[in-house]
Amino acid sequence: MTYENDAGLLAPGRAGSPVEAATGDKAFLQAMLDAEAALTRAQAACGLAPVAAGRAVSAAADASRFDVRGLALRARAAGNPVVPLIADLVAAVEPEARPYVHRGAGSQDILDTAAMLVAARALAELLDDLARAADSVARLAVAHRNTPMAGRTLTQHAAPITFGLKAAGWRALILDARDRLSAVRQSLPVQLGGAAGTLAAFDALAPRTDGDEAALGGQGRGMPLLQAFANELGLAEPLLPWHSLRTPVADLAGALAFTAGALGKPAADVLILSRTEIGEVSEGHGGGSPAMPHEANPVRATLIAAAARRAPGLAATLYGSLAAGDERPAGAWHAEWEPLRELLRLVGGAARGAAELAEGLRVVPYAMRENLQLTDGLIVSERLAAVFAGRIGRERAREVLINAAARARAEATDLADVLTDVLDEEPELAGLDLAELTEPARYTGCAGPLTDRALDRG
């Protein structure tokens, strides 16, 4: 029986997302071929290979011409897929170009460079989805700048806030993620070091003369080749070959894990606020239940929350590979491949989900208003405490409010009604406007200006 390889059946969060396509087996294969072709072209630019060889390898570097599954099975013998790929690429070009395929490079040079190419391409898609999410959340923040709702701390009503401020906070996290991923994407480097990170093989490709030595400025042929290789691929030129200096992968892992967590915050809020008994928001296209037709499940928020829980573990594996021995590690490098791809896919799917969630989110102001009244005015107790303390002292104010709250609960009445009697018993509190003091919408502090300031960030 034959099964399709990794169709995403158990990964609805990333299934069909742009990043899934950008990180598939064919995408990785194409990136490896792109690296091989770029290396030959770079050598041609540096006088180490004929220009025709660069053209020939580039023409043959088409992933559709290669058997991905066959390469995967043959990779077991060498421990990585580059070795069988080289054999197939050599066979795919005309005889005169074959000596210039993979000339002087190591397998890790190609696979690491391919991983950076895949990451750069995937991040372009991911950043587009983050931009969509940020724009949609900004519109929510503007529309609900002054929409009051209960602020919750440790699961309990605390003090009134506005939904606009909450949405502005979501946007701030999304933009933080965007900035981190953008910086990482710009720094993604090629890998080129040869057998042990010295670029020595490229000096051996052509005999040197005294004139060559002067022209190269004592740098050898590898240094200009490294720059040319980076230019061919649009990636950064590394300061050093990084076969066992895994900063690029660790930086990428950190930015992706941060992004997953940043998107997990609005997802967590939506999961809470969309509960039946709260009902302050709902997903525009909630998922149904075959057994319970009334349900409109917050599916997108659920899948984003799942990604946020998985991402730190994947990032931890990539951080663990920083402890890489020698000039090329056994196992540490190999341990990165699958977690890196899965992390890109998870976060890419979460970014798509966040964009769709924000674009379709329904806000229910009347439910927010009703929920503000659940504590019969106690949600503004902080304000009352401050005002009362200014007249009767902090301790007496606390005592008055505790007694009034207890009475309000016992009599199932509004706190303002109880306080009307209290004010009659406390001359110093005479003249206070209880309707004003107990109105939640009048106690949102700087929520509006804070929202405006957050939205000024580009």
pLDDT of residue 210: 52
> Is residue 44 pLDDT above 70, yes or no?
yes
Q: What is the pTM of this model?
A: 0.93
289 among known catalytic residues: yes
pLDDT band at 86 (very low <50, low <70, confident <90, very high): very high
Which residue from 4, 246, 244 is spatially nearest to 116, judged by alpha carbons?
246
Top-confidence residue, 105 or 3? 105
Pick the closest to residue 344 from 188, 144, 221, 151 (CA basis).
188
DSSP 240: S
For this structure, is 328 an active site residue? yes
The SS3 of residue 9 is coil
Q: How far apart are CA 47 and CA 41, in angstroms?
A: 10
Confidence of residue 416 (pLDDT cuts 50, 70, 90): confident
Query: Which residue of the set 328, 341, 345, 383 is catalytic?
Result: 328
pLDDT (tens digit per residue) in 293-335 = 445 799 999 999 999 999 999 999 999 999 999 999 999 999 9
Task: Quick: pLDDT tens for 171-209.
Answer: 999 999 999 999 999 999 999 999 999 999 998 876 555
Looking at domain 18-365, its CATH class is mainly alpha
Question: In whole angstroms, what is the distance from residue 359 CA to residue 353 CA?
Answer: 10
Are residues 434 and 420 in contact, defined by beta-carbon separation less than 8 angstroms?
Answer: yes
Report which of 283, 351, 341, 317 is spatially closest to residue 126, judged by C-alpha positions. 351
Confidence of residue 378 (pLDDT cuts 50, 70, 90): confident
DSSP states of 360-407: HPEE-HHHHHHHHTTTTTGGGHHHHHHHHHHHH-HHHHHHHHHHHHHH
Percent of the chain scoring above 70 in pLDDT: 93
The residues near 362 (Cβ < 8 Å, ≥ 6 apart) are 281, 282, 283, 284
Query: Would you state the pLDDT for residue 292?
Result: 43
- From the candidates 69, 76, 275, 289, which is the catalytic residue? 289
- What is the token pair recorded at 281? 């928001």
Average pLDDT on 63-91 reads 97
pLDDT score for 42: 98
Q: What's the pLDDT at 293?
A: 43
Count Cβ neighbours within 10 Å for each residue of 250-263 and write b for 16 or more, e otherwise: bbbbebbbbbbbbb
Residue 410's pLDDT is 85
Quote the mean pLDDT of the chain: 92
| Spatial separation of the C-alpha atoms in residues 145 and 148, rounded to whole Å | 9
Query: CA separation (Å) from 313 to 53, 250, 301, 336?
Result: 44, 13, 20, 12
- Alpha-carbon distance of 363 to 148, in angstroms, equals 12
d(CA 59, CA 37): 8
Residue 376 region, left (φ>0) first, then alpha (ψ -120 to 50), else beta? left
Parse the chain into domains and list their residue ranges. Answer: 18-365, 378-437
Question: What is the mean predicted confidence (pLDDT) over 406-435?
Answer: 85
**Within 13 Å, how many C-alpha atoms sit on residue 431's CB side?**
3
pLDDT-derived band at 6 (thresholds 50, 70, 90) equals: confident
pLDDT (tens digit per residue) in 226-279: 999 999 999 999 999 999 999 999 999 999 999 999 999 999 999 999 999 999
DSSP at 286: P
- For residue 395, which amino acid is it? E
d(CA 224, CA 215): 11
